[in-house]
Amino acid sequence: MVPHTAAPSALALLAEVVPPERLLTDAPALEAYSHDDAEWAPYTAPVAVVLAETAEEVAAVVRIAGDTGLRVVPRGSGTGLSGGANAVENSIVVSLERMTAVLEINETERYVVAQPGVIGDVLRATVAEHGLWYPPDPASSAISTIGGNAATNAGGICCVKYGVTRDYVLGLKVVLADGSLVSLGRTTAKGVVGYDLTGLLVGSEGTLGIIVELTLRLLPLGGREERAVVGSFASLEDAGVAVAAITAAGILPSALELVDRMCLRAVDDWQHLGLPHEVDTMLLAKVDEPGEWVRSRPSGSPPS
In this structure, is the dihedral angle defined by the CA atoms of residues 175, 176, 178 and 182, taken in order, positive or negative? negative
- Measured from the Cβ of residue 256, the count of other Cβ atoms closer than 10 Å reads 22
Question: Which whole number is the average pLDDT over 276-294?
Answer: 82
Pairwise pLDDT comparison (152 vs 295), residue with the higher score: 152
Write the pLDDT tens digit of every residue in 39-98: 889 999 999 999 999 999 999 999 999 999 999 999 999 999 889 999 999 999 999 999
What is the C-alpha separation between 162 and 157, in angstroms, rounded? 9
Phi-psi region of 194 (alpha: psi -120 to 50; beta: other; left: phi over 0): left
The band of 296, judged by pLDDT with boundaries at 50, 70 and 90, is: low
Query: Which DSSP string corresponds to 17-28?
Result: HS-GGGEE-SHH
Residue 230 is which amino acid?
V
Residue 242 above 90 pLDDT?
A: yes
Residue 177: name the closest of 74, 283, 301, 31 by CA: 74
Helix, strand, coil fractions of the chain, as percent rounded to 5: 30, 25, 45
**What pLDDT is attached to residue 304?**
34
- Measured from the Cβ of residue 304, the count of other Cβ atoms closer than 10 Å reads 5
Question: Which whole number is the average pLDDT over 160-170?
Answer: 94
Residue 117: name the closest of 134, 93, 96, 102 by CA: 96
Write the pLDDT tens digit of every residue in 184-238: 999 988 888 889 999 999 999 999 999 999 999 999 998 778 889 999 999 999 9
* Mean of all residue pLDDT scores within the chain: 91
Strand, coil or helix: what is 189?
coil
